[in-house]
Chain A
Amino acid sequence: GQNIDQPTEMTATEGAIVQINCTYQTSGFNGLFWYQQHAGEAPTFLSYNVLDGLEEKGRFSSFLSRSKGYSYLLLKELQMKDSASYLCAVLNTGGFKTIFGAGTRLFVKA
């Protein structure tokens, strides 16, 4: 089967750091995406990891461990505008389909 797990909701304070975890079990693996989605809008691309390790891009970093089926998205220097849903998604092999997790709703408070 295919399963992607991430916390439903998280709350953090403006200026702080937050880590959103994602574990996955999928039929084949061809990379993992993180997307940001504001309410009523389409997802926007944040990161793509296909090799183990940490990828840093400004305030956002993404980590992948393929052997553990685990990834996290790290958001630094949180801003109010970072309040959104963060979707973990796995690209499988074969059909090249992207399977999405349920998303983590992040609330940033002042």
Chain B
Amino acid sequence: GAVVSQHPSWVICKSGTSVKIECRSLDFQATTMFWYRQFPKQSLMLMATSNEGSKATYEQGVEKDKFLINHASLTLSTLTVTSAHPEDSSFYICSARPGQGAGVSYNEQFFGPGTRLTVL
């Protein structure tokens, strides 16, 4: 149990285009989802916290108009990188935290497999 999927697993796009990444919790309801970005040989940097039905909370320095997050249901959150540029090329990882009573540790979060974005 507690599987999180991401789609696509990799994407290559031209500079100026927008890219949407989906994060789904497959067998549990996720009240909270997190979006991270990871550059090569660096750790995960939290970009934003997404709660179902409300606006995402962005970390300092993350442009909310550039990285649009929508958490429309308890099993789906999307990250849209608008007008992508080469410096946005990175590994984007989502994670999901189950709601209370889901049968797993409330504090644990489960990671998706990641999406590698390359902007030409």
Give residues in A with beta carbon < 8 Å to B: 30-31, 40-45, 48, 50, 87, 91, 95-103, 105
Contact of B57 among A95, A99, A102, A103 (CB under 8 A): A95
Report chain B residues within 8 Å CB of A41: 113-114
A45 cross-chain contacts in B, Cβ below 8 A: 108, 110
- Residue pair B107, A44 in contact (C-beta under 8 Å): no
B46 touches A99 (CB 8 A): yes
Q: Which 6 A-B pairs have the closest CB atoms?
A: A42-B111, A102-B43, A100-B44, A100-B43, A42-B114, A103-B43
**Measured between C-beta atoms, what is the minimum distance from B49 to chain A in Å?**
6
| A42 near B108: Cβ-Cβ < 8 Å | no
Q: B114 contacts which chain A residues (CB < 8 A)?
A: 40-42
| Alpha-carbon separation in the docked complex, A60 to B82 (Å) | 42
Q: Which residue of B lies closest to A87 (CB)?
A: B43
A6 to chain B: closest residue by CB: B43
The reply to whether B49 and A95 form a contact with Cβ atoms under 8 Å apart is: yes
* Contact indicator B111/A44 (Cβ below 8 Å): yes
**Residue of A30, A40, A50, A98 touching B34 (CB-CB under 8 A):** A98
Residues of A within 8 A of B113 (CB): 41-42
The CB with the most chain B CB atoms within 10 A, among A42, A43, A91, A96, is that of A42
**What are 24 of the A-B contact pairs (CB < 8 Å)?**
A40-B116, A41-B114, A42-B93, A42-B112, A42-B113, A43-B44, A43-B111, A44-B111, A45-B108, A48-B105, A50-B107, A95-B49, A95-B57, A96-B32, A97-B34, A97-B46, A97-B49, A99-B46, A100-B36, A100-B44, A100-B45, A101-B43, A102-B43, A103-B43
Q: Does B109 contact A (CB under 8 A)?
A: yes
A45, closest chain B residue (CB): B108
- Report whether B42 and A102 are in contact in the complex, using a CB–CB cutoff of 8 Å: yes
Contact call B107/A48, Cβ cutoff below 8 A: yes
> Closest Cβ of chain B: how far from A40's Cβ, in Å?
7
Q: Which of A30, A42, A43, A96 contacts B97 (CB 8 A)?
A: A96
